[in-house]
Chains A and B, each alone.
Chain A
Amino acid sequence: MNQVRTQLMLCGGTGCRANRSEAFRETLQQELERRGLAREIEIVETGCNGFCAVGPVMLVQPEGIFYQKLTPEIVPHLVEEHFLKGRPVKKLFYVEPASKETIPKMEEIPFFAHQMFWVMRNKGVIDPEKIDEYIARDGYFGAAKALREMTPEQIIEEVKISGLRGRGGAGFPTGIKWEFARKSPGGVKYVLCNADEGDPGAFMDRSVLEADPHAVLEGMIIAARAIDAHRGYIYVRTEYPLAIRRLEIAIRQAREYGLLGKDILGTGFDFDIEIYQGAGAFVCGEETALMRSIEGKRGMPRPRPPFPAVKGLWEKPTVLNNVETLANIPLIITHGGRWFASVGTEGSKGTKVFALSGDVNNIGLVEVPMGTSLRRLIFEIGGGIPRKKKFKAVQLGGPSGGCVPEQYLDIPVDYEEIAKVGAIMGSGGVIVMDHETCMVDMARFFMDFVQDESCGKCTPCREGTRRLLEILEKLCEGRGEPGDLETLEELSRIIKESSLCGLGQTGPNPVLSTLRYFREEYEAHIFEKRCPAKRCVALLKFEIDPEVCTQCGACFRACPAGAIAWKKKEPARIDKEKCIRCMTCFEKCRFDAIS
């Protein structure tokens, strides 16, 4: 028998893979074999660890040593030092940017220390392709309890007590949704999992599926029991091949273990799950559109009521829940609703997973208790803004959400509190923006997205968002006129009130929220033909201020068009005839001398 003494939990999430984690793994495996260590040291490929910023990352268990920024080249040294001589390699430890202190253990790194792992309880700790590892950490205990010891009413009651609200965006109480579906008459019912994750800048659901697919299956089994459904579908974006593969493996294993299929765990209850791949349409994340898409039609929403709990997929009562919502369910059933409700705020219970990205040091996936302040999320866990730049705003909730400026950073993560300042909790995309971000351009960016993804069924959304986009483009191109801002506001209001589905009803939010907090930036575009953040190319002069220029020549060396004249001890000058307005010099100039 081989005796595994050490497990190397290597992250196989998308971020780390893109940073050559696979090449690292192959090299490491070969080296372990060459040194005769392969029997005692096992490499486990885990799902996303969350700390994508410093990937590829690896956790050495049971010691708890955390290695970052691994490369195939470092392998011989690492194996020699750590696994043969027992001396952990210091230069691969995490370095705290502020204090320059090296931190060897994962739980002591600030990024992890302020987090609370409920939904991500198994991330980076188990091999997501092995059901036994999930079971070893109390996996399927909740399902067994729900099926063997609880009535459907008791399950629903427990979920209601927990206060769990949908994590897909709208925040509807999950227990109440299940109760509606349970009470809907009809012999055939469905449980669906929404893994469409459309918010461009969010990757929580993908990471949960990649790291812990069984948690979602278990949540679906419990939901099925609660509403008495026998068939379920997981609707996954086709852009998520790894998540799809892991789900396929998980479903196969669950069937082999009698956890899916006929007569689950000998209780007489039947339930099975199929995967359905989306085909690239944001609106298909909306519940009624998603159901049309599974039926093989154009994914267009329809008016509600009837709600899906009454008439959903193939016109049958249906419960649709988000990935993260479902991953919470096994915990609630195992530990009880009251336990779950002990964490969080008055109206928002449990934890929330966020995908932290943009202009922030620690890009990655984080899970915090509800009630944590945005400031802690961005500055303590996220490590603040890179290159000593200044924080400007944070965008929550993607194209349906809004931005939160500096003065509101102390508000807690809570559905109602976030809504009060004009943003939404949304699915969990958190994009941090520094002072070089133009808010008019950001509004234009989101509107371009909404306009592009509008399915075209209702007029306010189809035509209205196009008009909004036209005005925003005009502003960015320096053709803004007095009255444009009023038109933006008026149109936004109409679109929000009269659109058919959530896409249009929330689509103008980024415009309204940037107008609310950064109106003077809009006004500068219109009345002074000036972009204060220097992002809108049409409003830039491409001139170098000789007073500010330090004569360093960085712009001269970087210019791809040879349009900059510079000699030592002379300020640089841009030849506007040759300039292709590519912005390279703006990026290179560290002294803000170009306008």
Chain B
Amino acid sequence: MAGLPHPEHPDITAAMWEQIDAVIERHRGVPGSVIAVLRECQQIVGYLPVELIDAIAAGLNLPRSDVFGVASFYSLFSLKPKGRNLIKVCMGTACYVKGIKEVITRIEAHFRVAPGGTSADRRFSLEAVRCLGACGLAPVMVVNSDTYGDMKADRVIEVLEPYS
């Protein structure tokens, strides 16, 4: 809540806290707004540390368990920090039929990162997502905001190397 001291957190700067307060302020008292608040706060910080969830619960005047329950239910929300580059590989049906599995295996082996995880050096986070709506380009991989279609296992490492 505005005025309350903010807990120390290495990933949340003072400027971020200001934005977070503004988001909470805007939604306070609006029924059903917790998902929107979590989404906007995640956009600011990059993920949802426990301290942030606590602050949101206090700000919206909701039980911590409710906010935590919502954050853990929806796959959009991440409770862990992300890598510098986000690789999304499509696990939709079309991409699966066209061989995305081999692409994922290759990324896992080469960069030592499992789906849903982040490599130890925080260079890549790997996410297996559902249909990206670009089935015409299957198999599809999205790195940050770049979309790569027709992604084959023997080309994927070459495509990923420039992202440091």
Contacts and interface: CB of A to CB of B under 8 A. Distances in A.
Interface of A: 14-15, 17-19, 52-53, 55, 198-203, 206, 238-240, 277-282, 293-299, 355, 357-359, 363-364, 395, 398, 429, 431, 433, 437, 442, 445-446, 449, 455, 558, 560, 580, 582-584, 587
A562 to B, nearest CB: 13
B133 A14 contact: yes
Contacts of A583: 102, 153
A280 B135 contact: no
Interface stretch (B15-23, B50-58, B136-144): B136-144
A19 B137 CA distance: 8
Interface in B111-164: 129-138, 140, 147, 149, 152-154
B61 interface: no
Contacts of B73: 281, 298-299, 455
A79 B132 CA distance: 33
B93 A55 contact: no
A582 B102 contact: yes
A238 B43 CA distance: 13
A298 B70 contact: yes
A201 B147 contact: no
A239 B132 contact: yes
B109 A357 contact: no
B134 A14 contact: yes
Nearest to A297: B70
A203 B135 contact: yes
Contacts of B136: 15, 52-53, 55, 357, 363-364
B84 interface: no
A429 B93 contact: yes
Given A359-B97, A433-B97, A582-B153, A18 B102 contact: no
Contact of B133 (A240, A277, A279, A296): A240
B106 A582 contact: yes
B162 to A, nearest CB: 18
Contacts of A398: 93
Contacts of B36: 277
A296 B70 contact: yes
Contacts of A558: 154
Contacts of B70: 296-298
B94 A201 contact: yes
B135 A296 contact: no
A203 B98 contact: no
13 contacts: A15-B137, A18-B149, A200-B93, A201-B94, A279-B75, A293-B35, A295-B31, A296-B32, A296-B70, A359-B98, A363-B135, A395-B93, A587-B152
Given A55-B136, A279-B76, A398-B93, A584 B35 contact: no
A52 B135 contact: yes
A15 B138 CA distance: 10
B64 to A, nearest CB: 14
Nearest to B74: A279
Nearest to B72: A298
B27 to A, nearest CB: 10
B74 A281 contact: yes
Contact of A279 (B31, B39, B92): B39
Contacts of A17: 147
B39 A277 contact: yes
A371 B68 CA distance: 48
B43 to A, nearest CB: 11
Nearest to B102: A583
